[in-house]
Amino acid sequence: MSTLPGVSRRRFFHMIGGGIVVFVSLGPTAVFAQEGANRLFVYPKDYNAYLVIGKNGRVAVFSGKIEMGQGVLTSQAQMVAEELGVSLTSIDMVLGDTDKCPADMGTFGSLTTRMFGPVLRAAAAQARVELVALAAQKLGAARDSLLVEHGTVFVAGQPRRRVSYGELSRGAKIVRTVQSDAILRSASEFQVMGASPRRLDGLEKVTGAAKYAADIRVPGMLYARLLRPPTHGATLLQLDTSGVEHLPGITLINHDGLVAVLHTDPEAAEDALGRIKTLWQGSATKVDPESIHERLVSQAATLKTLAERGNVAAVRSNVKHVFEATYKKGYVAHAALEPHAAIAQIREGRATVWASTQTPFPTRDKIAKALGWNPMQVRVITPFVGGGFGGKSADGQAIEAARLAQITGKPVQVAWSRSEEFFNDTFDPASVVKIVSGIEASGRIALWDSVVYSAGERGAVACYDIPNALFRSSGGASYGPPGPQASLHPFATGPWRAPGANMNVFAIESQIDMMASAVGEDPLAFRLRNLTDPRMRRVLQAAADAFGWQPAAAPSKRGVGLACNIDAGTYVATMAEIKVDAASGRVQVIRMVCAQDMGIIVNPEGAKMQIEGGITMGLGYTLAEELRFLGGDILDRNFGTYEIPRFSWVPRIDAVFVKNDDLAPQGGGEPPITTTGAVIANAVFDATGARLYRLPMTADRVRLAIAALSANCSKSFSTPA
């Protein structure tokens, strides 16, 4: 965990030149991100620069967050423009540069707007107060007689008595250190926040000018290709590099387990890699997608209680209906379109590494460790990132590039092939959720006893009012590198967009639906009967209104479903209409409505894009994505066999926002994906009467579930599994 500040103040001043530099001192309340039980140290208590107002009036904003498509380049600029009183076009964002930006743990967990946003807004709001004070001196006017518009301070009613922010800083280096308790503008005052300007990264992205890590060119740079084992856990027995040693222009490295070939032409490096002869001893592990679930349960760590109410054991024998089900899910790849890439250059005792990463500061520290250096000798610069979804936090490629630059003394690019991208992925773990639940004759849920294996804790505690409930988990997501120390999974696993919540919500909301169906009640009415949280009730109602939800017990043969969840502070309710082709089992989603209460919305169009993107990506884990593997052998190595959602899969998606301007902005990037699996599963049940207990719901699995249903009519769908 990094606690180092981004850069020394002296060094920072040297880089910036003149202008007004605004530092922010954070109180202890802003230091912790509240993410379940894992309290992460997110921001340093040290002083860090957030804003520099230049002589030309332009405002440089420094943020340790990175832009990977989620739109925070634009939304952070909006927050500063709003609080500082400048136009959006006068802002230059500097993201993810460890020499310039305030230290940050990384861009994940839907934390940027929720946790960093208030800090950034406070910095800008305090800067505005300081600038108005400077203007008051300069104009000889009382502070409270001054107004700010587009970066100019003027005397109310006397617009000619004015001074711009740029003029205030002219010829001087002015430093202001402010506390983070600034008074922020309220939603009713917003001019820039709450609007949907075009994305600031748009022009670069539609013209091909946007630079991603692999697009950085450094004079003298070599392209590296690295020798990888064929399977995780394999040991290298023989290595014969004689076929490449005399190839023109090839640099061969065999250093402390790192075998690589480098060339000025990436194809020549690739060709050379193919000429290295190896003999490997495979690993004995033979677990596969079918046997993994038994292993996850039998080898689970001690169960941890996440929440407990009432007395589960006592009511179990008394409730009218008891439902018991086991839900399963396989491994899912991140499969960002941009594979990991990094360029490392070492000069005068400092390493500069351009990396596709969600975590520039921790990456800097890992690189320093690998080089045997002090972190301040390493600078990580993050260009645009071509999709992250949690998968760009391990940073193996950046360490590889830095090590090769150190060994060869030349700038080195390491850009993973798609095959390496799959092989080295930190997959969303396979998981199992077991639930026993029960209802009274009144239709009230009286009992809930659930155990989560390997999915993790996020989304594991249902939001319903259940008097007797016990929620347990086998202790986190069991993330870790492959190898004997992490015997649960045969390869690395890690965070994947809303880690664990996709599986947990699939299980919980399927179980809720199953109970509603068993008592012959409309699934929306059943949920409302068992929910008192007013925010969730409002969100469900908003979704129902927009969708045109018609009450009926499932299965109604209409193919409609719903699911809801609370994630990253945001309330989300999703409804779907689907069609199932009974012969093939293929599911086609026709339309979806997603309603959210996410507090103040900084950029409504950006929030909609996250809803559309989350749902669309969610269709992958819901309908198709499941890594094929045998032990440590990753069998899916490209999109030819690993299917991700395509244009024809995507339904019409409508986003609905439930206004809640009294609440600070909440998470946006992850909540909408969490309900996708559940809502489609419930719609499949509504369409066919077959309940799917395993993700993904591939055509084969749906077809078999329907076939099993008709083969065994007497155990009709109205009784629980």
Partner 1 sequence: MKRPISFELNGRRVTLNTDDGRTVLWVLRTDFALTGTKYGCGEGVCGACTVIVDGKAVRSCLIHLKDIERQRVLTIEGLAHNGELHPLQQAFLEHGAFQCGYCTSGMLLSAAAFLREIPNPSRDAIVSHMERNLCRCGAHQRIVAAIESAARRMSGPS
Residues near partner 1 (CB under 8 A) are 68-71, 198-199, 201-212, 214-215, 217, 223, 264-267, 335-339, 384-387, 389, 415, 417-418, 605-606, 609, 612-617, 638-640, 644-648, 650, 652-653
Of 392 and 527, which has the nearer Cβ to partner 1?
Answer: 392
3-state secondary structure of 590: strand
Minimum CB–partner distance for residue 573 and partner 1 (Å): 19
Q: What one-character-per-residue DSSP string does 160-211 give? A: EEEEEHHHHTTT-EEEEEEES-PPPPPGGG-SSTTS-PPPTTHHHHHHT---
CA distance 478 to 494: 8
Residues pairing with 560 in the sheet:
577
CA distance 522 to 536: 17
Asked if 380 and 360 touch (Cβ cutoff 8 Å), the reply is yes
Minimum CB–partner distance for residue 65 and partner 1 (Å): 14
Asked if 472 and 304 touch (Cβ cutoff 8 Å), the reply is yes
Of 46 and 270, which has the nearer Cβ to partner 1?
Answer: 270
Of 288 and 643, which has the nearer Cβ to partner 1?
Answer: 643
Minimum CB–partner distance for residue 204 and partner 1 (Å): 8
Minimum CB–partner distance for residue 44 and partner 1 (Å): 28
Minimum CB–partner distance for residue 284 and partner 1 (Å): 31
What is the 8-class DSSP label of residue 89?
Answer: G
Of 1 and 209, which has the nearer Cβ to partner 1?
Answer: 209
Minimum CB–partner distance for residue 609 and partner 1 (Å): 6
Of 366 and 608, which has the nearer Cβ to partner 1?
Answer: 608
Give the residue among 26, 104, 29 at the shortest CA–CA distance from 65.
104
Give the residue among 571, 564, 563 at the shortest CA–CA distance from 685.
563
Minimum CB–partner distance for residue 710 and partner 1 (Å): 33
Minimum CB–partner distance for residue 646 and partner 1 (Å): 5
Give the residue among 663, 538, 658, 535 at the shortest CA–CA distance from 600.
663
Handedness of CA 290, 291, 295, 297 (dihedral sign): positive
Phi (first) and psi of residue 590, to 5 degrees? -95, -50
At a CB cut-off of 8 Å and minimum separation 6, what does 461 contact? 306, 307, 471
Of 400 and 612, which has the nearer Cβ to partner 1?
Answer: 612
For residue 659 the two structure tokens come to: 């206004």
Cα 599–Cα 605–Cα 606 angle in degrees, nearest 5: 75
Of 417 and 487, which has the nearer Cβ to partner 1?
Answer: 417
Minimum CB–partner distance for residue 543 and partner 1 (Å): 18
Of 142 and 647, which has the nearer Cβ to partner 1?
Answer: 647
Minimum CB–partner distance for residue 652 and partner 1 (Å): 7
Minimum CB–partner distance for residue 602 and partner 1 (Å): 15
For residue 524 the two structure tokens come to: 């929306």
Minimum CB–partner distance for residue 404 and partner 1 (Å): 18
Of 317 and 648, which has the nearer Cβ to partner 1?
Answer: 648
CA distance 143 to 224: 60
Asked if 240 and 278 touch (Cβ cutoff 8 Å), the reply is yes
Of 266 and 467, which has the nearer Cβ to partner 1?
Answer: 266
Of 218 and 525, which has the nearer Cβ to partner 1?
Answer: 218
Euclidean distance between the first and final Cα of the chain, in Å?
Answer: 45
Sheet holding 412-415, edge to edge: 251-255, 258-263, 222-226, 412-415, 341-347, 350-355, 378-381
Instruction: Dump strand ranges (E) for 290-340.
Output: 304-309, 321-329
Minimum CB–partner distance for residue 200 and partner 1 (Å): 11
Minimum CB–partner distance for residue 612 and partner 1 (Å): 6
Of 193 and 452, which has the nearer Cβ to partner 1?
Answer: 193
Minimum CB–partner distance for residue 706 and partner 1 (Å): 26
Distances (CA, A) of 575 to 329, 540, 546, 610: 22, 9, 9, 17
Of 367 and 615, which has the nearer Cβ to partner 1?
Answer: 615
HSE at residue 299, side-chain half, CA atoms within 13 A, is 13
Of 638 and 718, which has the nearer Cβ to partner 1?
Answer: 638
Minimum CB–partner distance for residue 577 and partner 1 (Å): 16
Minimum CB–partner distance for residue 268 and partner 1 (Å): 9
Asked if 306 and 461 touch (Cβ cutoff 8 Å), the reply is yes
CA distance 571 to 538: 9
Phi (first) and psi of residue 375, to 5 degrees? -55, -30
How many residues are given for the chain?
A: 721
Of 420 and 457, which has the nearer Cβ to partner 1?
Answer: 420
Handedness of CA 453, 454, 455, 458 (dihedral sign): positive
CA distance 234 to 610: 40
Give the residue among 419, 418, 465 at the shortest CA–CA distance from 440.
465
Of 415 and 501, which has the nearer Cβ to partner 1?
Answer: 415
CA distance 43 to 314: 46
- Residue matched to tokens 């989304």: 459
The three-state (H, E, C) secondary structure of 490-541, written as one string = CCCECCCCCCCHHHHHHHHHHHHHHHHHHCCCCHHHHHHHCCCCHHHHHHHH
Of 57 and 390, which has the nearer Cβ to partner 1?
Answer: 390
